[in-house]
Amino acid sequence: MSIVASDLIFFSVASVPTDDVSTTGGAIDLTSRVALTQFGANAKLALVSDGADARTVAIVGRLADGTVATEAALALNGVTEVLSVNTYERILSITLSAGSGTRTVTAKQGSGGSTVATFPVNDIKRHIQFQRSTSESGTATRYEKQFGKNTNGANALLNAQVTLTADPAANIQIGLATAVNDTVTVANRKTAPSSVTFVDDGVAQSVPGTDLASGGTIGTWIQQILSANAAATRSTFTLQFAGATT
């Protein structure tokens, strides 16, 4: 069966740092994705499942005053919406206590608001990258990782490419691993992964070997460069994972 867009998914990795000293990267984590739409205004996080569901949810976010707050175990109530206690300026991560083979959970900006994340079956976590990263007196460069995976069960993605297509803050470059299906880790997010060349949104990068086999993954390192004493930002970047199919 031909590959369709929904077969091409970016997943997160085993080690997602929230500081500058923890291990970064590693193998693909098929239960986690860097896919979290930020709020348009300060709001409580609303969570709802599509059926009986008693899992708990851990929320990490910034409050209006900038402090980071955690709600460790907000209990889902099936198809009845539940609200976070805190009102957040931004969400850093949402983590379900366990995967479910049947239930889909939706996270929204406030009660009945717009969807900021959807957890399909077996998914556990949504998060942003470069959490709690700050500018410094000199240029601060950090590296985190994602994986593009061709989840089609039969077909290779032909002429596979990964491209940074949007970077409004102009502080992101991306670099592909020099081999597919890697598990490379770096000591911390301020350590550059070896042999990885980074480019901006003006360049399309092809996956090593040109085609990405069924089930294949391509490690994609994200480089964030914050200039000296840069002002605070809450921005986004967009990756495109594309190719041809038969």
Q: State which residue, 123 or 201, has the beta carbon closest to another protein.
A: 201
Shortest spacing between CB 152 and another protein, in angstroms: 22
Q: State which residue, 12 or 223, has the beta carbon closest to another protein.
A: 223
Rounded Cα distance, 212 and 72, in Å: 39
Shortest spacing between CB 220 and another protein, in angstroms: 11
Residue 80 near residue 112 (C-beta atoms within 8 A): no
Shortest spacing between CB 206 and another protein, in angstroms: 4
Q: State which residue, 52 or 187, has the beta carbon closest to another protein.
A: 187
Shortest spacing between CB 167 and another protein, in angstroms: 10
Q: Which of 194, 191, 167 is nearest to 179 (CA)?
A: 194
Residue 101 near residue 122 (C-beta atoms within 8 A): yes
Q: Which residues contact 80 (CB under 8 A, 6 or more apart)?
A: 48
Shortest spacing between CB 136 and another protein, in angstroms: 16
- Report the DSSP beta bridge partners of residue 9: 149
Residues that bind another protein (CB under 8 A): 163, 173, 175-176, 178-179, 192, 194-208, 210, 223, 225
Return the exposure string of 129-138: e unless at least 16 CB atoms fall within 10 Å of the residue's CB, then b.
Answer: bbbebebeee
Q: What is the distance, to the nearest Å, from the Cα of residue 132 to the centroid of all Cα atoms in its chain?
A: 15
Q: State which residue, 102 or 197, has the beta carbon closest to another protein.
A: 197
Q: State which residue, 112 or 202, has the beta carbon closest to another protein.
A: 202
